Structure 1
Amino acid sequence: MDSSDLNAAGSTGAPVPGASTEKGTRPLIPGQRRPHPSESTSATTPSAPRERFWRAGRLEPMPIRRLPEAPPSIHILGPTVFLVALGVGMGESYMWPRLVLVFGPEIRWLFLIGVSLQAVVMLEMSRYAMATGESIFFGAARVFKPLMWFFFVTAILVYIWPGHLSAGASAFERVTGIPWQATAVAGMLLVGVVFTLAKVVYSLLESVLSICIGLLVVGTSVVAALVGNFADLASTVSGMFAFGHLPDEATSATWFPILVGSIAFAGPSGMQQMWYTLHLRDKGAGMGAHIPRIRGLRHAGEQESMPSRGFMFDTSDPAEMAKWKGWRRWVTFDAFVLFWGVTMLVTIAFTVLAQASARLDPGVVEVIRNGERDAALDAMASSFAAAGTPVLGTVFFCFIALIGLNATLGLFDSFSRGQADMTYFFVPGAKRFSISKLYGFFLWGLIAFGIAVLLFGPADGPAAILDTLAFLSTFAMGAYCVVLLLVNNITLPKPIRPGIVSNVIIAFAALFYLGALFYSLFAYGVVVS
């Protein structure tokens, strides 16, 4: 019998007819199987029921519990709103339109590959989180604890830089004249206060991001329809299928690192997919329903007791597997309708705007080539204004500022959530503090460092911070694809492991991201541009 099999009965720890005891083994009833040694059991007396466990790695085994019923597959709100808020960010509204202005809409086939890979990654990240209620970081520790610490350090190296908020603040400066540093600092302080006062951080953030994303999607689509024409739309859509189109200039030392970073920004970049597993847990998706939610620092004293590990359901029980399939349908709708669909809709709107801006100001392409990277924002603002009134140019910069704020809300929460999770479970002595207090510590530490960088750091303007963040994110993405393959195929029971197609796609994603990164390094000697 495979070590992945679970005993078909007693998934809640209730009395199991015929279960083995410490005094001996009772005969099995028809159709029942004996527990495999990989399932730990315990009992205090021969007649007491035994709680069963699923062993994964050398960490504490997971007790078997009931899987909650799945909600309807078709829905509007959910943890995907965090990935949409991060996916519909500076890559879609700024970096890819800039590439379209320089290389034409045919370059968007690389965007299609990037966002489609991320949709599959999202599905596979959710597999472990919903099956166990643990984060992917905990799963990595079950495979090999240094893997988890690698991501702990990577998160600090990559996400302490306030790139998204800086770019949004730069756009806001064009509207108000307020220096972007001052706006960015105020924005970070606002985020910190809001998260500190929230009773349940997840619930507040889901509501706020849903409203912001709705405004952004509707607003950009309406303006793109006013400014663009059918030819712009047709070339935008057809450009997604111009596979293999890669102008010589795109592979130069100047543009290739930016192109690689933009592919990473096609959707949520870097470790954001890993943090998504924590949002699934706070949403109560799958076995996450058995784990308490993180509270704001003001309400940290109300934090429920956090279990020391996750849980597993009985994968040999047909009723449990039916519920599992319901959860997979729920998250698949999230991945391909909400995440992939909304991200694609917004980037189409911004690409149409970029093409319209090139018609209105043909010289903008040469300006961008000469190093004026922010010129793309000015050109698309002109497209907004061309819709009928100069006021719309101001509206465009407000959209960019809103995108920067959206991304900052998501990133600051996600970074703090991930670091707190790893610290709480794996740093000796950390459990003296509640996970909500650790969340607050990392949140305000991130804010303090971000303010110091903006006011006193070596940052060469918002665009430089963003390009650096994008390229460094590529390495994290390649690495987490490797970890995802290991976690899902080693720690999960066989009936719920990914199939061959999913494994091949994730392996391709790892090669795609890491291959592009190291090609840039060895071919051009350029790591960050």
Structure 2
Amino acid sequence: MSDGRVGPDPDDPSRVESTDEDGTRDERLEPKQGVTGGDDVYASEVEGKQYRGTWYLPLRYAELEESPDSDEYPEEGTGGSFRLADLPRVPRVGHVVGPSAIMLGASLGSGETLFWPVLTAQFGWMVFWAFVVGVFTQFVINTELQRWTLATGESIFRAFARVGTYWPWAFLFGGLVSLGWPGWAAGAAQVGATALGLSGSLTVLGFDLATWKLVAVGLMALIWLSYQTSSVMYNAVEVFQIGLLFVAIGATLMLVGVTGSWVEFSRIPDAAQSVGSLPDGIDIAVFLGGLAFAGAGGYLNLSQSLWMREKGYGMGNYQGRVKNPLRGDDPEPIERDGFTFRPTVTNLRRWRGWWRVVQLEHLLTFVVGLLVVAPALMSVALRYAPGTTTDAIQMWLGDVVPLLDPIGSFLVFAILFVALFTTEYAIVESFVRNSADALYESYGREAGWDLPKLFWRLLTAFCVWGIVIILVFTSPFEGREPFFFLVVGAAMSGVMMWPYTALVLVMNTTRLPEHVQPGWGRVAAMWWASGFYGYFSVLLVGTTLTEFGIAAFETAPTILGSSIGGYGLWAVYFVVQAYAVGKSAAGKRAASGTVPDADEASGWFS
């Protein structure tokens, strides 16, 4: 594809065809006349349907022309040059649904089922504004995480490594701290055991184990086994998660109807006056956890880049997928350095089409799904557990369920179990996929490691680790129920979102060429996102240090009134924010007018 032609050429020597073990052909289908009229921007119906699984078009990487060092192509940083290939034609939104559905599944068992319902029960709709803000803020962050992969095919961790090889290691550590505790598996097991009346303990190999622990171990084993059903690891996750989502969403809507809790929605307008304020006595850790998980949050969000590569979005269509090393011997190379496209008019129009599809897929799946499910569960919690003083799981099981009829009780148990299990499933998937990619790009590739084998080994190790944690620690752990695991992980996820939001903002405005950079509207939205998560991260760090007896780091929400160390934390916040704003604005100005016809691809919120 080095001759500048747009659209794949069956006779191109760089084009390779292969067939997966499951029969999926990895080849580009030409548009059919009469279906799209030979459109060179949008894919035909036949071509678009190939994305309903995952689609990979292998190219002879070494034979492709390398991108020159110019303003029209991404900056190489510490990596090598990109290879030139045309951007694939644009499919319909319905053909590429998948990555955002997994993200929605990751969200249901965290903020939408636990954090926000318990916050609403405690403080009413006064906190609802923060949930809505959190959802739309994560919409912007998640789609910006997709931008580099859409434009180059590289994962976000490879992009981070181009900035500095220490960044993947830093986020890997943060992911381990925030997601290394099997809180959702413990929560799902506790709910399942209670629903089935399996209280008490059983003796196994001479040890007395709580019944919920045995259920939790079974769930972790089930997650591991599910990956063995497909030759492409991602495909198994997508199928299982979408199926579980239908169950959770359907049961939630039925619960609202059975309980009559829809009447609580009439009180939402009265809470409009509380926008921007926090109720007295709110737990900052739980609140930041809610903000992080007004969506998926933290380390989970970084998976959006990897899932879209596996699905075949944009230039990711030319990158390989992570195959199951136990099924077949047809590996697909994840190239060290990705791809980029010449800024021809057709490619620029394709980029604009792809960007519209990416945003719509995330908006219609992730955002709409959250705005339907979460308020529904908030209304039930507010109606049946107003002013609760318990944690979220105990609120549902101890406050709400006893007040419901058998149908309502069954629906609550079903929703909690499925939501917590979908989240645990997504957490295992996200942690393993992110960590495998971070390790591979930081060290493993140069050491000759095989990415699919690394993925499989990490999957096995992480599931075993979760089982060990579940079995070793008692419940309650140091007087705390499994919800304790969730609060710790969620708060850490919120803190992690601040640095990577700022990093992605700077990276996308200084290292990508003009025609694929975010528009000024999105840049401003990312300024907000960085400031939003940074502010609450400083509050959390200050509060946590104060609780550990280090009063010098106390931070006040109004900033004024903080302790000496607290002012130091706020100073760090303002320095980071000023750098991100200044660097991104300078990057946008420097790129302006450097690519002819860039307006074919760009826009205010592009």
Q: CA deviation at 1:237?
A: 6.5
The answer to whether the aligner puts 1:453 opposite 2:469 as a matched pair is yes
| Aligned mates of 2:236, 2:444 — CA distance in 1 | 31
Alignment TM-score, normalising by the size of structure 2: 0.73
| Aligned mates of 2:86, 2:498 — CA distance in 1 | 34
Alignment TM-score, normalising by the size of structure 1: 0.83
| Aligned mates of 1:496, 1:428 — CA distance in 2 | 30
Gaps of 5+ in 1: 1-6, 15-43
CA deviations 1:127-152 (Å, max 9, x no partner) are: 11111111111111111221222112
Alignment match, 1:352: 379
| Aligned mates of 1:332, 1:516 — CA distance in 2 | 27
Listed as ranges, the matches of 1:333-412 within 5 Å are 333-358=360-385, 365-368=387-390, 374-382=394-402, 385=404, 389-412=405-428
Mapped contact 1:237–1:348 kept (Cα < 8 A): no
Mapped contact 1:13–1:52 kept (Cα < 8 A): no
CA deviations 1:284-325 (Å, max 9, x no partner) are: 0000100111122422632223322211111x2110011111
**1:480–1:52 CA distance, 2 compared to 1 (3 A):** closer
Equivalent residue in structure 1 for 2:498, among 478, 501, 504: 478
| Aligned mates of 1:400, 1:262 — CA distance in 2 | 17
The answer to whether the aligner puts 1:498 opposite 2:526 as a matched pair is no
Alignment match, 2:258: 226
| Aligned mates of 2:503, 2:125 — CA distance in 1 | 34
The answer to whether the aligner puts 1:465 opposite 2:511 as a matched pair is no
CA deviations 1:26-58 (Å, max 9, x no partner) are: xxxxxxxxxxxxxxxxxx9xxx99543544212
Alignment match, 1:267: 295
Q: CA deviation at 1:523?
A: 4.8
| Aligned mates of 2:534, 2:162 — CA distance in 1 | 24
CA deviations 1:193-241 (Å, max 9, x no partner) are: 2113421121222122111111211220122023125531222476477
Mapped contact 1:300–1:434 kept (Cα < 8 A): no
**1:190–1:9 CA distance, 2 compared to 1 (3 A):** same
Alignment match, 1:36: none
Mapped contact 1:300–1:436 kept (Cα < 8 A): no
Listed as ranges, the matches of 1:218-257 within 5 Å are 218-236=250-268, 239=271, 242-250=274-282, 255-257=283-285
Mapped contact 2:498–2:537 kept (Cα < 8 A): no
Q: CA deviation at 1:13?
A: 12
SS in 1 for 2:335: coil
Listed as ranges, the matches of 1:110-149 within 5 Å are 110-149=130-169
Listed as ranges, the matches of 1:65-464 within 5 Å are 65-74=85-94, 77-178=97-198, 179-236=211-268, 239=271, 242-250=274-282, 255-299=283-327, 301-314=329-342, 316-358=343-385, 365-368=387-390, 374-382=394-402, 385=404, 389-428=405-444, 432-457=448-473, 459=477, 460-464=480-484
**1:300–1:138 CA distance, 2 compared to 1 (3 A):** farther
Runs of 4+ in 1 over 3 A off after TM superposition: 7-14, 48-55, 73-76, 236-242, 428-433, 457-460, 523-528
**1:280–1:408 CA distance, 2 compared to 1 (3 A):** same
Q: CA deviation at 1:249?
A: 1.7
**1:440–1:488 CA distance, 2 compared to 1 (3 A):** same
**1:227–1:299 CA distance, 2 compared to 1 (3 A):** same
Mapped contact 1:412–1:446 kept (Cα < 8 A): yes
CA deviations 1:466-505 (Å, max 9, x no partner) are: 1111111111111110111122112211111112221222
| Aligned mates of 1:514, 1:298 — CA distance in 2 | 43
Higher relative contact order (CA 8 A, sep 6+): 1
Q: CA deviation at 1:522?
A: 2.4
| 2:120 maps to amino acid | V
| 2:506 maps to amino acid | L
| Aligned mates of 2:444, 2:214 — CA distance in 1 | 39
Q: CA deviation at 1:357?
A: 0.9
Alignment match, 1:31: none
CA deviations 1:400-457 (Å, max 9, x no partner) are: 1111111122111121111211222331566634211110111111111111111113
Mapped contact 2:153–2:315 kept (Cα < 8 A): yes
| Aligned mates of 1:522, 1:49 — CA distance in 2 | 52
SS in 1 for 2:67: strand
SS in 2 for 1:89: helix
Q: CA deviation at 1:506?
A: 1.5
- Count of matched residue positions in the alignment of Structure 1 and Structure 2: 474
| 1:222 maps to amino acid | M
